[in-house]
A and B are shown apart, each in its own frame.
Chain A
Amino acid sequence: MTILILSISALPARAQISPGELSQPHAFLEGIKNCLNCHKLGSGPSAEKCLECHREIEVRMKQEKGFHYVVVNDGSQSCFSCHNEHAGRGFRLINWPDGRKNFDHSTTGWSLQGAHAVAECRQCHKPALIKDDLSAHRSSINLKTTFLGLRDECVSCHTDEHRGQLSDDCTGCHGVETFEKAPGFDHHNAKFRLTGKHENVTCDKCHKSVSDKQPWDKNDRFTRFAPVPHDNCKRCHSDPHEKQLGECASCHATSGWRDVADANFDHSRTHFALVGRHSQVVCEQCHGDRPRSEPIRFDACTSCHADPHQGQFASRPDEGRCDACHNESGFAPALFTAEDHAEATFALTGAHLAQPCASCHVAVTTASGTTFEKFRFQRTDCAACHRDEHHQQFAPKTCEACHIVDGWHSVDFVHDRDSSYKLDGEHRGVVCSGCHVSVGADGGSFIRYKPIDPSCETCHADKSDMRLGG
């Protein structure tokens, strides 16, 4: 009976040495012939046997990387500590003791930080992001369920928004909280250091959004970070000088367009080269506190200089251009020579040639209080300048009737010709002042020439005096 029962029970019992069904992923290993695929005689289930199939794990173990290496390396755990078997088809071969969301990812050698910590597992662990060729290790591996194959470089999961323009070390600039900010980036470490106003402009002013027109990427736009040509300012800035002044930095500083480096500025590159005294004046004297770049008129000297002549020369053919008489060497002396004066309304001759200008061109003050040297005269006769020393004795005769321009004392006066009193006799030897004596007192004194009573008694008071003539 025993033999009978054993024989009957042996039929269904065939291949039932197994202590229970294998889990679904290992169901293909079911059967008595497959025991030694996982078990080693004399030593139970063997990790080596596991790794014979799970080459993808074996590779990681050899590389001394990954979760399995970490948890097995200390010797406290084996494959079977977590991955039991023979617990039925429905057995979850991968167990998450604290729930998958609470898995301590740092045990994989890569701790989840920042935004990674709140991401769903399959946001990263998905076939599209698996870069390692896991199927080369195990053809049956399911990329939808595996947690292997990811790499720890940021760009293995994240699109390189910079399109390879920058270093692969994303964390050098970006944190793990958000991509938008780059707390680790310091433009001072870039080839183009930000100084002055550049420190305050938004990134997109210089780093433009461009398109790479890649069909594989929905977001075909990226920001151009490098190369951004920065060899000269005009790469970004327009040139208001229209290429006339060369390198911007030779004058301008990054602290502001208006902050022209005065000392370095070569004014000769402008339309108004500074020569003579102009080269010695400080910028503010002409530009004031206005921006250096703000154009100022320089077509006439009066653009900057006040007309000390108060427009007296405006009626000249050249409309009184200053440079007709002056240059940058200084306002005085003027370039106006005696020869030039000969061309003027009043040519200088005689003693006039020896006179300093100011003798005639004296300072006058207008009713409004403006003082200027007078160059424009209503009259050019002698009396316009000279005082009538004769106190109207010869009126209406003019000075030229007797005097010439060679000098006051060069008189063209012939007593017998030009006077009604003829000199004869002893009178011829008498000096002028013998008859023409000073009259009046103080400032009002003058020499009396006429009228003089022609009678002798006018000059001769007594006889004895008469002898003076004899």
Chain B
Amino acid sequence: MKLISFKGFLHSMYVLGFAFVVMVALSGSPYYSLAPTDRPHHDMHSTLKPGGLWGHALGIVGSSMVLLLLLYSLRKRQKFGLRHGRLSRWLDIHIFFGVVGPLLITLHTAMKFGGIVSISYYSMVLVALSGVFGRFVYMQIPRDSTGEALGLEGASKRLDEVRQSVAGRLPEDALAGIDRFIGESTVFPAKGGVSAIVMTIRHEFAMPMRTRRLARFLAAGKQELPHSDIQQIVRLAKRQAVLIRRIAMMDTMTRLLHYWHVFHKPFAYIMIAIMIVHVAVAVSFGYTWVF
């Protein structure tokens, strides 16, 4: 029996990670808020400076996370025998490391960005921010439960399944309301990446209002559906509308994700390369933390 689901574990890790980052940031704020020229005279300097006991540890843990998130790429390509586990979970961990690792590294820098290693840092920031965007684009491509892309055929099949699960439960007048909802939610395929993104965002923003309207319509029907059924129906209708949109945008989003990789990966490589140089220089100059 599982004690905790993967999502629960992941959420716990996020909570712990953010709590730790916030705690360090708040307790170190008197130090971090000082001008660089004043910091060495502060009591926390020996602890929180990049080479300090805590500062160095933050760097080691943060950079380790950044290195570990590369495993996702290997898993995705099934290199070095990494074939196990759902790709989506690998991605979730990849994202977790990609979020918390940069935050820890930011604390490691003590908000002092300079020299060649700053290129690594800013690259990391770009990679992390682009990761958020990539995650968004990634989500717009219909996938199965393991995270694999369904493709147009698979997606259409999934849509039919959803439609049938909705249609089998409802009378005609209710279905008419759902069709109207779907109709309102239908978007035309956008060829341009930017317009696809804009349309997707607008669609997402409009979705709550439309789902509330559908819920009210169903609640006012003659069937007097229970509330839980209404919620279920609305959720399926929403999934159907989103799936229709994603199928419509699938080509564009797939193409966009490809381009995104072209941006995301080089900065990741830059980040890693300079980070290795940075670590090598630090170690060669004797900064080996507690070792």
B146 located at the interface, meaning its Cβ lies under 8 Å from any Cβ of chain A in the complex: no
A13-49 vs B: 1/0 string, CB under 8 Å? 1001111110000000000000100011111110000
B110-127 vs A: 1/0 string, CB under 8 Å? 001011110100000000
| Contact pick for A91, options B37, B112, B119, B267, CB 8 Å | B37
User: With A9-B119, A17-B116, A17-B281 in contact, do A1 and B266 touch (Cβ < 8 Å)?
Assistant: yes
Residue of B nearest to A18 (CB): B115
> How far apart sit A92 and B112, CA to CA, in the bound complex (Å)?
18
Residue of A nearest to B46 (CB): A81
In the bound complex, do residue B285 and residue A1 qualify as a contact, i.e. CB atoms below 8 Å apart? no
Could you list 23 A-B pairs, sorted by A, with CB under 8 Å?
A: A2-B265, A2-B266, A2-B270, A2-B273, A5-B267, A9-B270, A13-B115, A13-B119, A16-B115, A19-B112, A19-B114, A20-B115, A35-B285, A41-B286, A42-B284, A42-B286, A44-B285, A84-B40, A87-B36, A87-B39, A87-B40, A92-B37, A95-B40
> How far apart sit A154 and B279, CA to CA, in the bound complex (Å)?
54
A-B pairs, 9 with minimum CB distance: A44-B286, A84-B40, A13-B116, A2-B266, A16-B115, A1-B266, A91-B37, A16-B116, A43-B286
In the bound complex, do residue A40 and residue B269 qualify as a contact, i.e. CB atoms below 8 Å apart? no
| Contact pick for B114, options A20, A39, A41, CB 8 Å | A20
User: With A13-B119, A17-B115 in contact, do A6 and B285 touch (Cβ < 8 Å)?
Assistant: no
How many residues of chain B are within 8 Å of chain A by beta carbon?
Answer: 27
Q: How many A-B residue pairs have CB under 8 A?
A: 70
CB distance from B32 to the nearest CB of A (A): 14
A396 located at the interface, meaning its Cβ lies under 8 Å from any Cβ of chain B in the complex: no
Residue of B nearest to A81 (CB): B46
B41 located at the interface, meaning its Cβ lies under 8 Å from any Cβ of chain A in the complex: yes
Q: Which residues of A contact B3 (CB under 8 A)?
A: none
CB distance from B252 to the nearest CB of A (A): 22
CB distance from B279 to the nearest CB of A (A): 12
Residue of B nearest to A83 (CB): B40
CB distance from A73 to the nearest CB of B (A): 20
A317 located at the interface, meaning its Cβ lies under 8 Å from any Cβ of chain B in the complex: no
Residue of A nearest to B282 (CB): A19
In the bound complex, do residue B273 and residue A41 qualify as a contact, i.e. CB atoms below 8 Å apart? no
A2, A19, A44: most-surrounded residue (chain B CB, <10 A): A19
CB distance from B108 to the nearest CB of A (A): 12
Within 8 A of B (CB), among A67-124: 84, 87-88, 90-92, 95, 97
> How far apart sit A87 and B41, CA to CA, in the bound complex (Å)?
10
In the bound complex, do residue A95 and residue B41 qualify as a contact, i.e. CB atoms below 8 Å apart? yes
User: With A42-B286, A87-B37 in contact, do A19 and B50 touch (Cβ < 8 Å)?
Assistant: yes
Q: A5-B270, A17-B277, A20-B115 are in contact. List 17 more A-B contacts (CB 8 A).
A: A6-B270, A6-B273, A13-B115, A17-B281, A19-B50, A19-B117, A20-B112, A35-B285, A42-B284, A44-B285, A44-B286, A45-B286, A84-B40, A84-B45, A87-B36, A87-B39, A91-B36
Q: Which residues of B contact A84 (CB under 8 A)?
A: 40, 45
In the bound complex, do residue B286 and residue A40 qualify as a contact, i.e. CB atoms below 8 Å apart? yes
> How far apart sit A43 and B285, CA to CA, in the bound complex (Å)?
6
User: With A5-B270, A13-B115 in contact, do A88 and B36 touch (Cβ < 8 Å)?
Assistant: yes
Q: Which residues of A contact B273 (CB under 8 A)?
A: 2, 6
Residue of A nearest to B272 (CB): A2
B138 located at the interface, meaning its Cβ lies under 8 Å from any Cβ of chain A in the complex: no
Residue of B nearest to A8 (CB): B119
B116, B267, B281, B286: most-surrounded residue (chain A CB, <10 A): B116
In the bound complex, do residue B270 and residue A41 qualify as a contact, i.e. CB atoms below 8 Å apart? no
Residue of A nearest to B269 (CB): A2
> How far apart sit A6 and B123, CA to CA, in the bound complex (Å)?
11
Residue of B nearest to A35 (CB): B285
In the bound complex, do residue B40 and residue A44 qualify as a contact, i.e. CB atoms below 8 Å apart? no
In the bound complex, do residue B266 and residue A41 qualify as a contact, i.e. CB atoms below 8 Å apart? no
B90 located at the interface, meaning its Cβ lies under 8 Å from any Cβ of chain A in the complex: no
> How far apart sit A204 and B82, CA to CA, in the bound complex (Å)?
102
CB distance from A94 to the nearest CB of B (A): 10
Within 8 A of A (CB), among B101-115: 112, 114-115
CB distance from A366 to the nearest CB of B (A): 112
Q: Which residues of B contact A91 (CB under 8 A)?
A: 36-37, 40
CB distance from B250 to the nearest CB of A (A): 26
| Contact pick for A41, options B40, B41, B284, CB 8 Å | B284
Q: Which residues of B contact A95 (CB under 8 A)?
A: 40-41
B262 located at the interface, meaning its Cβ lies under 8 Å from any Cβ of chain A in the complex: yes
B14 located at the interface, meaning its Cβ lies under 8 Å from any Cβ of chain A in the complex: no
B35, B40, B112: most-surrounded residue (chain A CB, <10 A): B40
Q: Which residues of B contact A18 (CB under 8 A)?
A: 114-115
B163-179 vs A: 1/0 string, CB under 8 Å? 00000000000000000
B287 located at the interface, meaning its Cβ lies under 8 Å from any Cβ of chain A in the complex: yes
Residue of A nearest to B267 (CB): A5
Q: Which residues of B contact A5 (CB under 8 A)?
A: 266-267, 270
In the bound complex, do residue A88 and residue B266 qualify as a contact, i.e. CB atoms below 8 Å apart? no
Q: Which residues of B contact A20 (CB under 8 A)?
A: 36, 112, 114-115
In the bound complex, do residue A88 and residue B287 qualify as a contact, i.e. CB atoms below 8 Å apart? no
In the bound complex, do residue A97 and residue B41 qualify as a contact, i.e. CB atoms below 8 Å apart? yes
